[in-house]
Chains A and B, each alone.
Chain A
Amino acid sequence: MTVQDFEKLFQDRIDAEIKIEAKDWMPDAYRKTNLRQISQHAHSEVVGMLPEGNWISRAPSLKRKAILLAKVQDEGGHGLYLYSAAETLGMSRDEMIADLLSGKAKYSSIFNYPSLTWADMGAIGWLVDGAAILNQVMLCRTSYGPYARAMVRICKEESFHQRQGFEILLVLSRGTDEQKAMCQDAINRWWWPSLMMFGPKDSESTNSDQSMKWKIKRKSNDELRQNFVDMIAEQIKVLGMKLPDENLKWNEERRHYDFGEINWDEFWAVVKGNGPCNKQRLEARQKAHDEGAWVREAATAYANKKLAGKTKAA
């Protein structure tokens, strides 16, 4: 068979909703697209621990601290599920980590914004995780089996993340004037960056078509963004807060909320590495990696020593 025949068979399987597994034949571009998407998704989970890690030691109560610790631990776990899925496509973990640390690999820009107050922990859970969930629910049905399975596992855990975030804000929204102001301020700062998480407009994103055809993605950036706005515009009523968008308005004809234009200059600036915390995040990752080096080496040495002992005894 020729490569064209293989590609035709491959597309037929995709069209028939048959998952692709690690050992199956796949076009190089499919492998590459998945490898990049999954590894970048993994990096996002790992870097995503940093804005929240900032508040673990400052959580307002032991309960909140325990919850935040559990959430951050989950994010680490999510990174691991995704790295494992990416490894099935033929790249080693060390190479992926090296790409992250060198700045070659990217991660979601949202994590380049600072977490300034405790209310940010609420806004991140509700808005940032909320936006991520929409993407991830879609990806539970992605065509690459290991990625889809990792997503199912992740989605089960994400809903706790979003609910605890909303609850933080709910408590603040019913608190003192100062707490209410803190709640509104966090929403103001995280709203637009959350909308940016869905990426450029469909008209600007050239890669979507092929990803849709291969069923890696099943919804466009704009579709997901609209779903998100519709969801949050309703939920915020419960908080009695306001989204910082003068143009946000229910459109009876479209049966969707209309919303204002994203500041795309800011979007591109952060993507290009000029966000408030790009440098800080990578430095923190690099520091953690360097400081963990002796642990990795010691564990390897110990395992080798034990193995040597066993072989000698046998």
Chain B
Amino acid sequence: MEHLELFFKSIFIDNMVFATFLGMCSYLAVSKKVTTAVGLGAAVIFVLAVTVPLNWLLDQYILQPGALVWLGPEYAEYDLSFLSFILFIATIATMVQLVEIIVEKFSPSLYNSLGIFLPLIAVNCAILGGSLFMQSREIATLGLALNYGIGSGIGWFLAILAIAAIREKIRYSNIPAPLRGLGITFIVTGLMAIGFMSFGGMLTGGDEEAEEAPNTQVVKVIKTEDAKAIKMKKKELANNTKEIQE
């Protein structure tokens, strides 16, 4: 249950692009065509799935205050957390190089389709962001870290896929000249982010119920009202995006 919740949360509620704006640069630069967007998205899922658990291990056994205690009791007071940026980014850069070499050796066709994107990924903020948020949200086990990596990768993939599809269509519409290209992409992303906000209320409900057991009825009423509001929002959003597309 914990796993399922984290997975869902990292895809929809804490979506990398729409909730925390990570990886916006490549999101905007590589979303002109659906095929390239799929390539980059797949590469991001893969790299996140590798680097988040690796950095979790680093964080647990080297960086956290007192993490070096496995070396011996005299190391218990060391706090190396100020080194986390440099260690995380070094892991990511080397992992990306490694992945590039392995993919080139075993699957040249995949390498050709991902080729240019792999080096780009090392400087994609989504990757480092995944590790930094993993650290600041204090994810508890290695399995959860892997789960979080894959989940946020899929969230990023969904986002770039959606915007690439919209941009392919939007090319045929009559947009005010100064808004063409970058401007309209920003505004569409903003509207999509508002849409994704409607996922926000979904998982918090469980905690409230547990805490306020006597008032369950009230909570339920509020919940249905929330759900109605969310549905309304979604409808509005769908209309808005349609209008823009037209």
- A in complex with B: no
Interface residues of B (CB under 8 A from A): none
